[in-house]
């Protein structure tokens, strides 16, 4: 009898949510149509709502755009398409020679090197972040995004230690990694990746050419690990899942090693 009850409960847990025909969340529909294949949209829509609205991803995008406009209008530069002197001397830019100013490991996300650079990042993070935030809410998406920004600069400081960084690509790629792990584990379908990959390719075509691929890779790995912690199974308890603790431990070990490397080993010292 106990086994029968367990099987019934398991069937209930694995059952598909009831489709809510004609009652879709309007503000979400525009974004999820671009990313999610038709056969999975109704299931994902059951989890999405605008209460609260996607404040984090919209707010961080506005802040990044405001900082870009500030440097484009009031700081010395030769053209809008590619900013130069103003951003490289900014107290927000990650400069290996000024690593003791620890805020630079995160604040570099507000600085962008030109119109193409910020346009690509804003488009990508809005298309990925808004749908994610409507399901997983701002504090979770925000933590994944910031974990990617920090992992990007730390990874660059280790493997590309003399490179100056600007841009929010670490956070953007963390959203991509988080979406990937969310799609694979929650929906168990690789087809869900096609929309994000399509958008990623389109955006990369017009990206600023001088990029730190190490920072991008660090962002993706952070998205896969911290994204697993926050996005998997739509907030069900994962404390008994070994992968949950492996992801947390792995990111923590990386942070500790990166701090040690920057203080005692880095050739940029």
User: Would you identify the CATH topology of the domain 53-263?
Assistant: Rhomboid-like fold (1.20.1540)
Question: CA 133 → CA 57, 94, 109, 197, distances in Å?
Answer: 8, 27, 19, 19
Rounded mean pLDDT of 66-71? Answer: 90
pLDDT band of 244, cuts 50, 70, 90: confident
What does the pLDDT read at residue 5?
A: 45
Q: Which residues are catalytic, by number?
A: 169, 216
pTM value is 0.80
When mean pLDDT is compared over 15-19, 195-199, 265-269, the highest value belongs to: 265-269
Share of the chain above pLDDT 70, in %: 66
Rounded mean pLDDT of 59-63? Answer: 97
Q: Cis peptide before 52, with omega less than 30 degrees from 0? A: yes
**CB < 8 Å & 24+ apart, contacts of 248-251:** 250/225, 251/147, 251/151, 251/222, 251/225, 251/226
What does the pLDDT read at residue 191?
A: 52
Rounded to whole angstroms, how far apart are CA atoms 268 and 246? 31
What does the pLDDT read at residue 253?
A: 97
Q: Where are the domains of the chain?
A: 53-263
Whether 49 shows a pLDDT value over 50: the answer reads yes
């Amino acid at each position: 009898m106990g086994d029968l009850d367990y099987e019934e409960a398991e069937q209930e847990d694995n059952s598909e949510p009831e489709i809510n025909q004609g009652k879709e969340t309007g503000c979400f529909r525009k974004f999820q149509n671009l990313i999610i294949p038709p056969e999975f949209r109704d299931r994902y829509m059951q989890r999405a709502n605008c209460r609260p609205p996607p404040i984090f991803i919209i707010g961080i995008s506005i802040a990044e755009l405001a900082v870009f406009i500030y440097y484009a209008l009031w700081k010395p530069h030769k053209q809008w398409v590619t900013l130069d002197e103003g951003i490289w001397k900014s107290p927000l830019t990650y400069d290996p020679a000024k690593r003791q100013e620890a805020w630079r490991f995160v604040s570099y996300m507000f600085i962008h090197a030109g119109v193409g650079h910020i346009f690509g990042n804003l488009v990508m993070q809005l298309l990925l972040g808004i749908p994610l935030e409507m399901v997983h809410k701002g504090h979770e998406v925000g933590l994944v995004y910031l974990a990617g920004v920090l992992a990007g600069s730390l990874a660059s400081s280790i493997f590309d230690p003399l490179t100056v960084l600007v841009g929010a690509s670490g956070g953007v790629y963390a959203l991509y990694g988080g979406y990937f792990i969310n799609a694979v584990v929650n929906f168990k379908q690789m087809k869900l990746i096609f929309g994000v990959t399509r958008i990623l390719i389109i955006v990369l075509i017009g990206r600023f050419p001088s990029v730190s691929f190490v920072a991008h890779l660090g962002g993706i790995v952070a998205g896969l690990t911290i994204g697993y912690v926050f996005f998997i199974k739509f907030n069900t308890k994962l404390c008994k899942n070994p992968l949950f603790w492996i992801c947390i431990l792995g990111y923590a070990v990386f942070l500790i090693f990166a701090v040690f490397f920057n203080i005692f080993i880095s050739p940029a010292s």
